[in-house]
């Protein structure tokens, strides 16, 4: 099953695979303390955290575990974030997650919601899962708003990779 949205588009965004050449453009995400404080293992130096991020992205690609897509602005051609469908294991259950992160300079402009909605529509159209989740740190109000805007509801609170998280969920029949 293809979980990558490579070649897909939304109103303002083009989805493509992340490439190694995106590293320096993505580094500001890890240099901004507010953007990376909600991720497990992100307390390292920005360059190390960014390298670890890219290793995870490419490992997912290689192992067919879904992955983040680079989000490219149709207007500027710039990388503005990453979003995609990821296979995750939460509380010993395999789930399909919509994950999203936006570079700080593009926050609060609706890009995360736009990209997340596109991922949800893609997953539903291709009948990829019985439900779709987003795993969100309990203090990350911005990402929680994106999940709500994406038609998700708070399903449960648990611990994921050692951090307290809310699991937001949507079922195809909810959409």
pLDDT for the residue numbered 131? 95
Is the Cβ–Cβ distance between 16 and 78 less than 8 Å?
Answer: no
Low-confidence ranges of the chain (pLDDT < 50): none
Place of tokens 């010993």: 92
Q: Could you tell me whether strands 79-90 and 93-102 are parallel, antiparallel, or unpaired per DSSP bridges? A: antiparallel
- Identify the pLDDT of residue 3: 94
Per-residue pLDDT at 172: 74
Crossing angle between the packed helical segments 141-149 and 111-125, to the nearest 10 degrees: 50
pLDDT at 60: 96
Q: What Cα–Cα distance (Å) separates residue 76 from each residue in 32, 79, 114?
A: 22, 9, 17
Question: What whole-number distance in Å separates Cα of residue 129 and Cα of residue 123?
Answer: 7
- Surface-to-core class of residue 160, CB atoms within 10 Å of its CB (0-12 exposed, 13-18 middle, 19+ buried): middle
Supply φ then ψ for residue 139, to 5 degrees: -95, -5
pTM: 0.93
Q: Give the integer Cα–Cα distance in Å for 50 and 29.
A: 8
pLDDT in tens, 83-134: 999 999 999 999 999 999 999 999 999 999 999 999 999 999 999 999 999 9
Please provide the average confidence, as pLDDT, over all residues in the chain. Answer: 93
Q: Which CATH class is domain 13-174?
A: alpha beta
């Amino acid at each position: 099953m293809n979980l990558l949205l490579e070649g897909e588009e939304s109103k303002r965004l083009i989805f493509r695979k992340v490439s190694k050449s995106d590293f320096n453009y993505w580094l500001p995400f890890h240099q901004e303390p507010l953007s990376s404080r909600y991720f497990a293992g992100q307390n390292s130096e920005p360059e190390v955290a960014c390298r670890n991020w890219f290793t995870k992205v490419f490992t997912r690609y290689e192992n067919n575990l879904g992955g983040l897509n680079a989000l490219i602005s149709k207007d500027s051609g710039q990388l503005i974030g990453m979003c995609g469908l990821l296979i995750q294991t939460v509380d010993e259950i395999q789930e399909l997650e919509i994950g999203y992160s936006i570079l700080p300079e593009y926050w609060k402009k609706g890009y995360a919601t736009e990209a997340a909605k596109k991922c949800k529509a893609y997953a539903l159209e291709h009948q990829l899962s019985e439900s779709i989740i987003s795993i969100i740190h309990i203090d990350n109000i911005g990402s929680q708003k994106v999940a709500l805007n994406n038609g998700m509801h708070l399903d449960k609170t648990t611990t994921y990779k050692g951090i307290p998280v809310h699991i937001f969920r949507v079922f195809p029949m909810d959409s």
